[in-house]
Homo-oligomer: A and B are copies of this chain.
Amino acid sequence: MFEELDPLLHSQLRLAIMSLLIGVEEADFVFLKEKTNATAGNLSVQIEKLKEAEYIDVEKTFQGKMPRTICRITPKGILAFENYVKTIQTYFNTNNK
């Protein structure tokens, strides 16, 4: 009756990251940190988990002399996100038969 919620997405910060990435081509570490208000450490850990799951791609580059970490959502990530949204919606409606 209550389908399992993808544990990788059922996390406030990881969901916020995916929410941001689904709307844009790419986003870097600093952007994600500002938008989510996460600490750098927490963000670093959660990005790594999304990457391991292949929900996002992570590219480490340099902008001038400073490091820059760019994230992009993958097709697999889009699917997982859409599925999570659909699944949790079933927890919302009152008529659970």
Contacts and interface: CB of A to CB of B under 8 A. Distances in A.
Interface of A: 1-2, 4-5, 10, 12, 15-16, 19-20, 22-23, 35-37, 85, 88, 91-92, 94-96
Contact of A2 (B12, B22, B23): B12
6 cross-chain pairs, A with B, having the tightest CB-CB distances, nearest first: A23-B94, A2-B16, A19-B91, A85-B92, A5-B12, A15-B91
Contacts of A94: 22-23
Contacts of A91: 15-16, 19
A20 B96 contact: yes
A84 to B, nearest CB: 9
Contacts of A15: 88, 91
A9 B80 CA distance: 21
A85 B96 CA distance: 16
A94 B50 CA distance: 18
Nearest to A86: B92
